[in-house]
């Protein structure tokens, strides 16, 4: 038989009979990533998929749950449309926020907090003495422009060419024709005894629109941030009106200038990893570095305490401690954690249930990964009806 016949027969197969679920896990899957999503529902107790919905709207989930009044627990992530759908379709059910998503959200907030206090990480970079720069022979100590500057080198070359033709007996008109210069330019070069006499005027001591922002660029450079485009994007909101090329030229000069090889401080991501990992898994060097950071930065010390308190609350299933944890977070100057605390507070009951009950959405995430595999197997033929059949009959 043909491939189309096989697909038609698969579509005609009856759906498996499933018992009324008591604990339901819900999550989204992408039929076209970034544009269109569906919903997968899993019986968490039997670990089998129950149904697929063609969208992730709250109304669709509410209608599905309303037809199954025996649902007692709904495991979900913290997406608002799933929260609304579960509340509308199964008001009797306990909503449980997934613990992995809670820890993931805390990890992102912790990394942002460390990045906001990256200056504190400089204490981890060992001090190095800057070597004395080697004195290079200069063309002329009185010259305001060093050898190698494009304006200075061009001026010296044109001055030499003009005087060479004049010493060979050519007139100034002849020099003008041969070199393609204007009459006044030839006269100016001919009247100058040395090219250094021409280094006056607009090239010297001219202020730049970048001058007010060079201290900021220097600080960011010393922090190890050397991307010219990103730095230009950072100073534009501060009032910089100049071009990106001017910033790039300034950083190129810093990049090509001789400088000592110094050990860079650890990245905010690395320090956030030390904070998020269990203290027993850190090496002795990492423990000493984290201790140094906490000593020099009260905010990162408070962040470490809050993260470890949340980890203890999560692993020991002590959700009743969540209100006290939220109050403690709000007492410290940690804006990223304040944002996380505000989001948790809006979903407090589900988060407390997630930190207390044994249910989670891990099995649902596994089925989402399997749906990705089935979509790739049926590339070009993975319509919703066929995909639903394969997921339910697997």
pLDDT of residue 291: 92
pLDDT of residue 263: 56
Residue 389 has pLDDT above 60, yes or no: yes
| Local confidence band at 285 (pLDDT 50, 70, 90 cut-offs) | confident
Question: Tens digit of pLDDT for each residue in 225-243?
Answer: 889 999 999 999 888 988 8
Residue 45 has pLDDT above 80, yes or no: yes
Number of DSSP helices (H) and strands (E) in the chain, helices first: 18, 5
Q: In what order do the strands lie in the sheet with 73-76?
A: 48-53, 36-43, 23-32, 73-76, 94-97
pLDDT of residue 226: 87
CA distance 69 to 20: 9
Mean pLDDT, all residues of the chain: 85
pLDDT of residue 356: 93
Question: Tens digit of pLDDT for each residue in 146-189?
Answer: 555 667 778 888 889 999 999 888 888 888 888 888 888 889 88
CA distances for 121 relative to 133, 241, 290, 297, 317, angstroms? 28, 31, 10, 9, 33
pLDDT of residue 222: 83
Note whether 48 and 18 are within 8 A (CB): yes
Q: What is the mean pLDDT of residues 191-197?
A: 83
Q: What is the mean pLDDT of residues 287-304?
A: 92
How many C-beta atoms surround the C-beta of residue 199 within 10 A? 19
pLDDT of residue 200: 61
Cα-Cα-Cα-Cα dihedral sign, residues 177, 180, 185, 189: negative
Picking from 103, 100, 99, 65, the residue whose alpha carbon sits closest to that of residue 82 is: 65
pLDDT of residue 394: 79
pLDDT of residue 6: 84
Q: What is the mean pLDDT of residues 130-142?
A: 45
CA distance 5 to 11: 10
CA distance 40 to 52: 5
Task: Classify residue 264 by its DSSP letter.
Answer: P
Interacting residues of 221 by C-beta distance below 8 A, sequence separation 6+ = 251, 254
Question: Tens digit of pLDDT for each residue in 313-346?
Answer: 999 999 999 999 999 999 999 999 999 999 999 9
pLDDT of residue 224: 82
CA distance 262 to 190: 50
pLDDT of residue 239: 87
pLDDT of residue 20: 84
Phi, psi dihedrals of residue 93, rounded to the nearest 5°: -85, 150
CA distance 299 to 293: 10
CA distance 350 to 365: 18
| Local confidence band at 133 (pLDDT 50, 70, 90 cut-offs) | very low
Residue 139 has pLDDT above 80, yes or no: no
- Note the helical H segments in the chain: 3-12, 58-66, 80-89, 99-116, 150-167, 172-179, 183-191, 214-222, 228-235, 244-256, 268-276, 284-296, 298-315, 322-330, 335-346, 348-354, 362-377, 384-393
Classify strands 48-53 and 36-43 as parallel, antiparallel or unpaired. Answer: antiparallel
Q: What is the mean pLDDT of residues 65-93?
A: 92
Residue 131 has pLDDT above 90, yes or no: no
pLDDT of residue 206: 57
Phi, psi dihedrals of residue 331, rounded to the nearest 5°: -80, -15
Picking from 79, 82, 77, 76, the residue whose alpha carbon sits closest to that of residue 62 is: 82
Question: Tens digit of pLDDT for each residue in 269-281?
Answer: 999 999 999 999 9
Question: Tens digit of pLDDT for each residue in 109-121?
Answer: 999 999 998 888 8
| Local confidence band at 134 (pLDDT 50, 70, 90 cut-offs) | very low
Q: Which of 2-6, 53-57, 102-106 is least confident? A: 2-6
Cα-Cα-Cα-Cα dihedral sign, residues 343, 107, 352, 72: positive
For residue 191, give the H/E element and its range: helix 183-191
């Amino acid at each position: 038989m043909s491939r189309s016949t096989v697909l038609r027969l698969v579509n005609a197969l009856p759906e498996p009979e499933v018992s009324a679920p008591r604990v339901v896990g819900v999550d989204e899957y992408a039929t076209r990533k970034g544009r269109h999503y569906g919903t997968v529902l899993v019986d968490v107790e039997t670990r089998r998929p129950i149904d697929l919905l063609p969208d992730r709207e709250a109304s669709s989930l509410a209608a599905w749950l309303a037809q199954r009044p025996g649902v007692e627990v709904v495991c979900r992530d913290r997406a608002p449309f799933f929260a609304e759908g579960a509340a509308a379709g199964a008001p009797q059910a306990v909503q449980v926020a997934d613990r992995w998503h809670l820890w993931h959200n805390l990890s992102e907030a912790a990394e942002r907090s460390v990045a906001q206090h990256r200056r504190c990480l400089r204490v981890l970079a060992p001090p190095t003495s800057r070597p004395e720069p080697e004195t290079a022979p200069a063309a002329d100590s009185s010259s305001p422009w060093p050898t190698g500057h494009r304006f200075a080198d061009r001026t010296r070359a044109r001055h030499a060419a003009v005087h060479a033709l004049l010493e060979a007996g050519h007139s100034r008109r002849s020099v003008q024709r041969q070199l393609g210069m204007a009459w006044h330019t030839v006269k100016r070069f001919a009247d100058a005894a040395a090219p250094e006499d021409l280094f006056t005027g607009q090239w010297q001591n001219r202020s730049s629109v970048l001058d007010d922002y060079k201290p900021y660029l220097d600080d960011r450079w010393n922090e190890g941030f050397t991307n010219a485009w990103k730095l230009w994007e950072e100073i534009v909101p501060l009032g910089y009106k100049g071009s990106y090329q001017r910033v790039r030229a300034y950083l190129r000069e810093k990049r090509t200038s001789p400088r000592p090889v110094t050990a860079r401080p650890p990245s905010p991501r690395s320090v956030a990893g030390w904070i998020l990992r269990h203290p027993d898994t850190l090496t002795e060097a990492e423990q000493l570095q984290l201790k140094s950071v906490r000593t020099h930065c009260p905010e990162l010390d408070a962040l470490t305490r809050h993260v470890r308190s949340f980890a203890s609350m999560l692993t020991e299933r002590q959700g009743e401690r969540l209100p006290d944890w939220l109050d403690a977070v709000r007492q410290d100057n940690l804006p990223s954690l304040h944002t996380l605390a505000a989001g948790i507070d809006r979903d407090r009951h589900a988060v407390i249930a997630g930190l207390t009950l044994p249910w989670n959405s891990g099995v649902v995430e596994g089925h989402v990964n399997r749906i990705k595999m089935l979509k790739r197997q049926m590339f070009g033929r993975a319509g919703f009806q066929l995909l639903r059949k394969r997921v339910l009959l697997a």
